[in-house]
Copies of this chain bind each other. A is one copy, B any other.
Amino acid sequence: MKNRFTLAALRHFACQAFEARHFSKHHARLSAELLVRADARGVDSHGVARLSGYIRLIEAGRLNPEPVFAWKQTFPTLCTLDADKSIGFIAASAAMEKAIEMAATTGCGMVAVKNSNHFGIAGQYALMPTGHNMIGMAFTNASPLVAPTHSTERLLGTNPIAVAIPALVNKPFVLDMATTTAANGKLEILERKKQQTPVGWIQQKDGKDTTDPSGLKSGGALRPLGSFPHSGSHKGYGLGAVVDILSGVLSGANFGPWVPPFVAFLPMAEQLVGEGIGHFFMAFRVDGFMDANDFKGRMDLWMETFRNAQHQGEEPVLVPGDPEWALEAEREQNGVVLLAPVVEDLNTLAIKLGIAPLAAD
């Protein structure tokens, strides 16, 4: 198929693009790898489709291609990183590495990051500690698109929660979820197909329900997980709030309505309350609680128990992460089909940056 590309080709292209905008070789390679990991795992909205958006942030002076990190540490387990307007990929990777390093000696490490930008998919940072027999958690705030329960204002981002937990023979458990009923990427897909959304995904400007996926663009808002007060939307709002507070309030980044938009052409809020967007990372050793292999064996039992549960209809019960692991294996093999507008956007980008165009498979 014409628009099918290998992951290697996507990585190479993204790497060239970042280098053309003054990323170091190492930072370009790491950013490209983490960007394309989103395509591999099926979160297409966070993959190469966003590459030109990051480049525009550099051009607007909001993303620094040559950041100098400043670490502040008072206790052996806790640390704040000022990421100097770095791309989120680099800041998040460094922060989770630091959390793992602290956890290796003390048992647990937590890092709050300010002055950063979007970091792609949260799950890949949560996964980093699992290879060290640790549990990982990753959080980030994001541009305000979500109205709290009862509100007509957009005050929170889709603020994801990611938790990854190692097992013995199984791939790690990975929960990686927006704290909204549906992620923004899913809206865009429906809008492109001119289809309606299910009830409860978005609200209009006046707060009333709508199934028109363009409702978000005409002043509406995404609804928190739970959708409505009678079905628990205050819980999704509360979870999104915790993510905003850990990532933004605690780190010294912006929070709530002040979080800068991802798109460079949208104006920043006035009188910012912090620097950039914020993330929060956590890693802790499972052998601080029980023997690591015993724990991982228990995780295998947990996973098999849930996968073998009785189910209604044809859909089996999945363990969080199962669909992404399956998709990743398939796409490592067969590559990814990009939508025509994404390919076109990347070709335009190649011309602008003076790099070789993306090579189809």
A107-B74, A153-B310, A238-B177 in contact; A231/B198 too (CB < 8 A)?
yes
* A287 part of interface (Cβ distance < 8 Å): yes
**Chain B proximity of A207: nearest CB distance (Å):** 3
- A309 contacts B78, C-beta separation under 8 Å: no
A75-B285, A181-B231, A232-B182 in contact; A311/B150 too (CB < 8 A)?
yes
Question: Which of A26-34, A293-301, A343-351 forms contacts with chain B?
Answer: A293-301
Q: Which parts of A93-110 form the interface with B (CB within 8 Å)?
A: 106-110
**Chain B proximity of A285: nearest CB distance (Å):** 6
- A241 contacts B295, C-beta separation under 8 Å: no
Total number of A residues with any Cβ neighbor in B under 8 Å: 90
**Chain B proximity of A348: nearest CB distance (Å):** 35
* A272 part of interface (Cβ distance < 8 Å): no
- B289 contacts A250, C-beta separation under 8 Å: yes
A173-B245, A225-B226, A317-B150 in contact; A252/B110 too (CB < 8 A)?
no
- A306 contacts B78, C-beta separation under 8 Å: no
Q: Which residues of chain B come closer than 8 Å to A149, judged between CB atoms?
A: 317-318
A: residues with CB less than 8 A from B are 74-80, 106-110, 112, 135, 148-153, 155, 161, 163, 165, 173, 175, 177-182, 198-201, 206-208, 225-227, 229-232, 234-239, 241-242, 244-246, 249-252, 255-257, 273, 284-290, 295, 298-299, 301-302, 305-306, 309-313, 315-320
